[in-house]
Structure 1
Amino acid sequence: MSKYAKVITNINHSDVDRVFDYGISKAIEEKVKVGMRVLVPFGRANKSIEGYVMALSDETELDQSKIKNIIKTCDDFPVFSKEMIELALFMKEKYYTTLSSCLKVIMPSGIGIKTQWIIVLNDYDEDILFTPKEREVIEFLEEKNNVCYKTELESQFGKNIYGVTNSLKNKNVISIRQSVKGNSFERNVQYVKLNLDENFNERYELISKNKRSEKQKEVVDFLFDYNEIQVSKLKEEMGNISSTLKTLEKKGLIEIFNKVEKRSIFDISNIEKTEPPIYTDEQQKAIETIENIRHSDNKKPTLVFGVTGSGKTEVYMAIIEKVLSEGKQAIVLVPEISLTPQIVGRFISRFGEKVSYTHSRMNFGERFDQWKKAREGEISVMIGPRSAIFTPFSNLGVIIIDEEHDTSYKSETTPKYNTLEVSEKLSEITGAVVVMGSATPDICTYHKCMEGRYNIVELKNRTKDSKLPEVYIKDMRKELEEGNRSIFSVDLYNAIKENLEKGEQTMLFINRRGFSTFVSCRKCGHVMMCKNCNVSYTYHSYTDTLMCHYCGSTVKNPKTCPSCGSKYIKHFGTGTQKVEEEVKKYFPNARVLRMDFDTTTKKNSHQIILDKFKNKEADILIGTQMIAKGHDFPNVTLVGIVSADISLNSSSYRSAENTFQLITQVSGRAGRGEKAGKVYIQTYSPDNYVIKLSSKQDYKAFYSDEIGMRELMEYPPFGSFFSIVISGTKEKEVIESSQMLGDIMKYFNRNRDFVILGPVPAFISKIKNEYRFTITVKHTDEERLRNFVMYCIDKFKSRYGKSSLYINIAMNTVIF
């Protein structure tokens, strides 16, 4: 057996982001395996902390006297497979983060260790003099059989008891010990069964003859019909029999024991099984192409590029069916939690109990059980948002990424990983094929298809003979000129009214996340743009100025439009609540549902809202991008995009792309059944190429225009940039440190190879009392850019780094 384990500690700090050698005692040498969680002593104080075994070895380069031993294993099984460890190492290098943070995001949610301090009363000399408070503590411990948790002591005497316990410890009256145990959220269920040993008949005869034991005999007679039964179900049948069960257990007639059971998260009995449809020629060709790729030596990722409603999900399921027939497994990624219940139902109806799902609004126990089902081979298909990519399947065959363009596939928390990149690496490690789908692919994804780095298959037509909806662009400048100051154009108002009269449903979309940022003119549509970066200025109310959060340039907030001279220029934004108020004002009898962050905080709230709308319990659904993708409501014949300008004028280099995607996706919700659909796009920029092309769902023309701008500005895919945010509680320290980092970068940029912008205040300059400054660094070569940024940050940390500062880094993403 191996003598040493290389352990990475669960401390998310770059100073200790390396493996440490620990000894393995004979008592646990058979238990310790690569990928396991272990408890180890760490630091000078030998504090017990959690660690992860990265490798085992028979040798160590350290002095034997300095080797500490692993205290114990936290679980009976490894939480990381060798594939997941390799994936974590890739993420550490790719996203410039700690290995610990990567392992934590891969590990099932909620798993950790629970630490408690225990106070033990020792044998002590009665002649010792004690203060009254010390005597009270001793008497309390004696009442607790000489031992209690520190929290119990604090509850009794208050948190200021530390001085007393420290004094008692110094007098050797008490000992303070650390109790640490792992928690894995396994569900233990109590069962009971007959103890049919050689003495059973004799014991049974005794209770049969005793009239006072009639209830005991009744329970035993009931148990004759069961091999084992849950105690709770037995009590449902026989009432409160707790004391009877204890007596029977003492007499040796029954055995009460615990079993680990996995939680069920859906009822399969209510879902009817469905068979594969007759595929269209386009679908059949796509399936055959992907199958050929899957069995080839060159498993490049494949994009299923299909218009909304073209049947991409059926293509996914056909591929999965073939993968499952080979004894392999599938991961299906979806962009929003709200999509999960709907798509899960479709997959369960096809594949039955082989399917499960996971998402962040399930409790820890539910998520842990689905993770364990996948690990133990009880399921073969896992559906979920980006975190589902870490499902521990042993024989992965395919990774499906639905709506691959969606921004939620890029993590905004550390580690800031891109799910598409992680999926490609996992494909490389496991041999699984990556299949992406979208009507509006990410510009970089489509560019890779055009270069031949990805495969592409097209679905140009909708299934079921349904046609794309008629799209109308409404110029809100003209509405204002004609005296309409409502958020609804006259035509959209009339269309909603007509839909209500016909008993058909309407979806109203607003892409707003809670704050106004850009400044535009309601008369001519002019937007205040940064000339250096081709993004909109951001409005700051506290200074009444406009700032570009890429290069830092600022201008005064204009009182009149610099283009037409109108006074109707202001920071822009209308939220979902405002839209709901207006709908109820104009259509008081309409049944209205709203789906946004505020209405979906409770568990299953997404599903409840969607089910109500699907069951025609509401006439109008108002929502943010939660309603834009994936939903299929045959009775929806009208979609209103209240303001296309909000996303179009966001301060991001991807604003045009995001707007095209959102308009196309939300437009695709209309007319998916037999009835024709209509879409109204309200905008102050009706001549903008994004608005025009998205109304036609002409992605290829949009790509042709957008890719030229990206190349000119050296934005991805023609260049990369790092967004670096320095934050801390002391404003002066943050400003000075960010300036120091900027100076270091400019010093090492002697040849001016890199474009360095900033430091400037971050988009949100203060969060939770932490001040934030940002630096942006650009270059056409991603590898050179990465090396330069990391070199400069390392230099900064070695010279000026302070523990009170935090440096947040992301590639090709603006950190707001």
Structure 2
Amino acid sequence: MSVCYLRIALDTPLDAVFDYRWQGERPAVGQLALVPFGTREVVGLILAVAESSAVAPDKLKDALAVRSQLAPLSDEWLALVGFAADYYQRPLGEVALPGLPRNLRLASTVALDRGLKKLAAAAVAQDPRPAAMPQLNPAQQEAADAIGQASGFSPMLLFGVTGSGKTEVYLQACAQLLAREPDAQILILVPEINLTPQLEGNIRTRFPGLQLATLHSSLAEGERLRNWLAVHSGAARIVLGTRLAVLASLPRLRLIVIDEEHDPSYKQQEGLRYSARDLAVWRARQLGIPIVLGSATPALESWQHAHAGRYRKLVLRERAVKDAVLPKVKLIDMERERPRDGLTAPLLEAIRARLARGEQSLLFLNRRGYAPVICCESCGWISNCSRCTAYMVLHKSEHRLRCHHCSLEMRIPRHCPTCGNVDLQPLGRGTQRVEEHLAALFPQARILRIDADSTRRKGSAQAAFDSVHRGEVDILIGTQMVAKGHDFKNLTLVGILNPDTALFSQDYRASERLFAQLMQVAGRAGRAGGDVPAEVLIQTRYVQHPLYAAVLRHDYERFAAVILTERRQAGLPPFIYQALLRAEARAVEDAIAFLEAARDGMEHAGITINDPIPMTMTRVANVERAQLLVESASRPQLQAWLKAWVAYLRSLKTRVKWSLEVDPIDI
């Protein structure tokens, strides 16, 4: 038996690449291997195969097995995860291995062998020809042709108003590509899991002869492995997934589509804090293939790229359905129209009119629960979370107070813990309280609430959306789950409650996000056309605010121009590059002290290091948190400095838990 030496990356907290000895058939770079690590047996990724090792022979361990039944991960995939690890300053193994199905990383190969056997049994000839395709309007056709006929690295921003038929453009562009390259693979990303069933149905209807695979975190482990194997083998021609799908192995990838590209959900907020949108653009450049970023409210970074000529802009200014127009947006001045239980008289009258005509209404409130807090009007006590700098939210139907940050729960107290007053009152409104009030006002109406509380069970969200599509709901109440991607044919009224809080946020991205949210949820109305014009009613105390003026005009372009001018003048992204160092400790003083040591420990010419400060939510689950913002006008300069800085941070002896986020979106 020949002997060789393997360089293997493992999923460990530090940059851990280890040498192992292997006796047997020479493996390939990109294969997986089972190796001993401490007292465990773990699966790692082979990065190199050599005739010798710099490690002393007596210190080397033998690799236990090589997953030879699985085709190696490609050089292009290795380059992708290598770039992600380098750019986001994370260990390579931490990037490469968690993105693989868990069943692929088990010591036993039973699940892998079973998955490969099912994949082989399901192999059939595939037909890329699409089913009958609807006629596109001229703007849609121009966009579909531009995408479908593009070659080489071609980044395109598909800027289309809500209801303009962006999905149909994607599908017909895919048909053009598959007609030329029947074996091509196409990756379509959506921001949230609940958006996949509707799009999956459209794709299966359009391409009945092609194998489609979905990749997202809600799949059972066996299904996820089977789908991943279909993608890795090239059998799955169209891959639909959320952000984790950007790291899938697609050996014949020829087109990437990112729907709702502006959505913050494309940024991972734990562990490897990567942007799936940005990695997708890098991957398209690496492979020399087209990529499409679609949105009615593009991220300002993407909009700036388009205006600078780095992205080609494709525009859809009209709705796709004949006679369907954008809904008319009206502001309800809450200083004049005083709300009762959170709802003004004009909004209630509009709901009543829709009920009389058999049309659907949507009330959007991005706050779940019954009320944000309960309080004692006698002494001022408020239901604070004992473990977080946050309030405990009242969930009336469950008779519980729940913290939405640390998940602490407690029964609703019978009396005030401070003064003993038994008359505790809910303060503010969540979706549950709005639902209760509407049920009392309209007892004959079919009311449905869709939020994270009502859709906890697997499949419950899709079942709820299906009931809306079937016309079994008169009034829909929801959070951001209902704000985008859904095509409700009979919905003619959208009421937006309590949007004003975002106007005064310290987060400089708050206005951008609020505008996108309002435009997206407004776009659910009037998508089917018809004689009755659709309406969007926004309850606000600030009717003169310029953001609402832009929403009234559906004028994203002017809004974006104003915000980009402000960002340029203030030296904020996309005109500057940032990284955020976070620290967590039992005492906030310890976290601040660590950040001060991080600030003072290295020279930083061309790098601006701001002073450490406590985070907005300083305490979560009894852990105190602080942060340090680093900025530079040069991305390469920032990246080079961060690499040295991370090495310095790892050399510090501290019990403080710290993490670094490149290109943060929440500061």
TM bucket, shorter chain: 0.7 to 0.9
Report the counterpart of residue 104 of structure 1 in structure 2: 97
Report the counterpart of residue 24 of structure 1 in structure 2: 22
**What is the aligned counterpart of 2:166 among 305, 309, 312?**
312
Deviation at 1:788, TM superposition (A): 3.5
Report the counterpart of residue 3 of structure 1 in structure 2: 4
Amino acid at match of 1:724: L
**What is the aligned counterpart of 1:719 among 576, 580, 583?**
576
Deviation at 1:399, TM superposition (A): 0.4
Task: Assess, with a 3 A threshold, how the Cα gap between structure 1 residues 623 and 331 changes in structure 2: closer, same or farther.
Answer: same
Report the counterpart of residue 375 of structure 1 in structure 2: 232
- Is the 1:21–1:60 Cα contact (8 Å) retained in structure 2? yes
**What is the aligned counterpart of 1:706 among 552, 559, 563?**
563
Q: For 1:316-374, what per-residue CA distance to the aligned partner results, in whole angstroms no more than 9, with x for missing partners?
A: 11111122221211011111111111111111100124223222222111111111112
- CA distance in structure 1 between the partners assigned to 2:31 and 2:80 by the alignment: 16
> Larger relative CO (CA 8 A, sep 6+): 1 or 2?
2
Deviation at 1:790, TM superposition (A): 4.3
- CA distance in structure 2 between the partners assigned to 1:501 and 1:622 by the alignment: 18
Q: For 1:599-630, what per-residue CA distance to the aligned partner results, in whole angstroms no more than 9, with x for missing partners?
A: 22211112100001111111111111111111
Report the counterpart of residue 194 of structure 2 in structure 1: 338
- CA distance in structure 2 between the partners assigned to 1:335 and 1:650 by the alignment: 24
- CA distance in structure 1 between the partners assigned to 2:316 and 2:29 by the alignment: 45
- Is the 1:722–1:778 Cα contact (8 Å) retained in structure 2? yes
Task: Assess, with a 3 A threshold, how the Cα gap between structure 1 residues 539 and 42 changes in structure 2: closer, same or farther.
Answer: closer
Report the counterpart of residue 420 of structure 2 in structure 1: none
Residue 465 (structure 2) pairs with residue 467 (structure 1):
no
Structure 2's unaligned 5+ residue stretches are 123-129, 373-387, 393-425
- CA distance in structure 1 between the partners assigned to 2:623 and 2:587 by the alignment: 7
Residue 596 (structure 2) pairs with residue 744 (structure 1):
no
**Of the two, which has the highest radius of gyration?**
1
Report the counterpart of residue 766 of structure 1 in structure 2: 619
Q: For 1:417-456, what per-residue CA distance to the aligned partner results, in whole angstroms no more than 9, with x for missing partners?
A: 1112111221123232111111111011010000011111
Spell out the pairing of 1:169-208 with structure 2 (5 A cutoff). Answer: 180-182=107-109, 184=111, 187=114
Residue 295 (structure 2) pairs with residue 406 (structure 1):
no
Report the counterpart of residue 31 of structure 2 in structure 1: 36
Residue 154 (structure 2) pairs with residue 300 (structure 1):
yes
Paired residue secondary structure (1:477): coil
Residue 211 (structure 2) pairs with residue 351 (structure 1):
no
Report the counterpart of residue 53 of structure 1 in structure 2: 46
- CA distance in structure 2 between the partners assigned to 1:769 and 1:612 by the alignment: 41
Paired residue secondary structure (1:456): strand
- CA distance in structure 2 between the partners assigned to 1:415 and 1:574 by the alignment: 35
Deviation at 1:21, TM superposition (A): 2.0
Paired residue secondary structure (2:69): coil
Deviation at 1:61, TM superposition (A): 3.1
**What is the aligned counterpart of 1:602 among 431, 452, 457?**
457
- CA distance in structure 2 between the partners assigned to 1:451 and 1:478 by the alignment: 44
Amino acid at match of 2:619: K
- Is the 1:333–1:386 Cα contact (8 Å) retained in structure 2? yes
Q: For 1:225-264, what per-residue CA distance to the aligned partner results, in whole angstroms no more than 9, with x for missing partners?
A: xxxxxxxxxxxxxxxxxxxxxxxxxxxxxxxxx9646999
Task: Assess, with a 3 A threshold, how the Cα gap between structure 1 residues 658 and 83 changes in structure 2: closer, same or farther.
Answer: same
Report the counterpart of residue 221 of structure 1 in structure 2: none
Report the counterpart of residue 629 of structure 1 in structure 2: 484
CA RMSD of aligned residues (A): 2.9
TM-score between the two structures when normalised by the length of structure 1? 0.70
Question: How many residues matched?
Answer: 607
Spell out the pairing of 1:167-566 with structure 2 (5 A cutoff). Answer: 180-182=107-109, 184=111, 187=114, 260=118, 274-292=131-149, 294-295=150-151, 297=152, 299-325=153-179, 326=181, 327-352=183-208, 353-465=210-322, 466-480=324-338, 484-512=339-367
Deviation at 1:476, TM superposition (A): 1.5
Deviation at 1:185, TM superposition (A): 6.0
Q: For 1:753-774, what per-residue CA distance to the aligned partner results, in whole angstroms no more than 9, with x for missing partners?
A: 5443332222332333332211
- Is the 2:187–2:238 Cα contact (8 Å) retained in structure 1? yes
Task: Assess, with a 3 A threshold, how the Cα gap between structure 1 residues 24 and 444 changes in structure 2: closer, same or farther.
Answer: same
- CA distance in structure 2 between the partners assigned to 1:576 and 1:9 by the alignment: 45
Paired residue secondary structure (2:629): strand
Amino acid at match of 2:354: N
- CA distance in structure 2 between the partners assigned to 1:416 and 1:515 by the alignment: 32
Which 10-residue stretch deviates more, 778-787 or 435-444?
A: 778-787
- Is the 1:509–1:639 Cα contact (8 Å) retained in structure 2? yes
- Is the 2:188–2:239 Cα contact (8 Å) retained in structure 1? yes
Deviation at 1:732, TM superposition (A): 5.0
Deviation at 1:285, TM superposition (A): 1.3
Task: Assess, with a 3 A threshold, how the Cα gap between structure 1 residues 648 and 81 changes in structure 2: closer, same or farther.
Answer: farther
- Is the 1:344–1:356 Cα contact (8 Å) retained in structure 2? no
Report the counterpart of residue 653 of structure 2 in structure 1: 801
- CA distance in structure 1 between the partners assigned to 2:503 and 2:30 by the alignment: 46
Paired residue secondary structure (1:508): strand
- CA distance in structure 2 between the partners assigned to 1:572 and 1:36 by the alignment: 57
- Is the 1:506–1:639 Cα contact (8 Å) retained in structure 2? yes
Spell out the pairing of 1:101-140 with structure 2 (5 A cutoff). Answer: 101-113=94-106
Q: For 1:253-306, what per-residue CA distance to the aligned partner results, in whole angstroms no more than 9, with x for missing partners?
A: xxxxx9646999xxxxxxxx84111111111111222244x22x4x23101111
TM-score between the two structures when normalised by the length of structure 2? 0.85
- Is the 1:2–1:57 Cα contact (8 Å) retained in structure 2? no
- CA distance in structure 2 between the partners assigned to 1:345 and 1:651 by the alignment: 41
Amino acid at match of 1:25: Q
**What is the aligned counterpart of 1:647 among 489, 497, 502?**
502
Paired residue secondary structure (1:594): strand
- CA distance in structure 2 between the partners assigned to 1:356 and 1:451 by the alignment: 36
Structure 1's unaligned 5+ residue stretches are 114-179, 189-257, 265-272, 518-537, 543-570
Paired residue secondary structure (1:405): coil
Task: Assess, with a 3 A threshold, how the Cα gap between structure 1 residues 276 and 604 changes in structure 2: closer, same or farther.
Answer: same
- CA distance in structure 1 between the partners assigned to 2:484 and 2:236 by the alignment: 27
Deviation at 1:738, TM superposition (A): 2.7
- CA distance in structure 2 between the partners assigned to 1:806 and 1:319 by the alignment: 47
Residue 515 (structure 2) pairs with residue 660 (structure 1):
yes
Residue 74 (structure 2) pairs with residue 86 (structure 1):
no
- CA distance in structure 1 between the partners assigned to 2:234 and 2:607 by the alignment: 49
Task: Assess, with a 3 A threshold, how the Cα gap between structure 1 residues 183 and 759 changes in structure 2: closer, same or farther.
Answer: farther
Deviation at 1:677, TM superposition (A): 0.9
Deviation at 1:576, TM superposition (A): 1.7
Deviation at 1:575, TM superposition (A): 2.2
Deviation at 1:581, TM superposition (A): 2.1
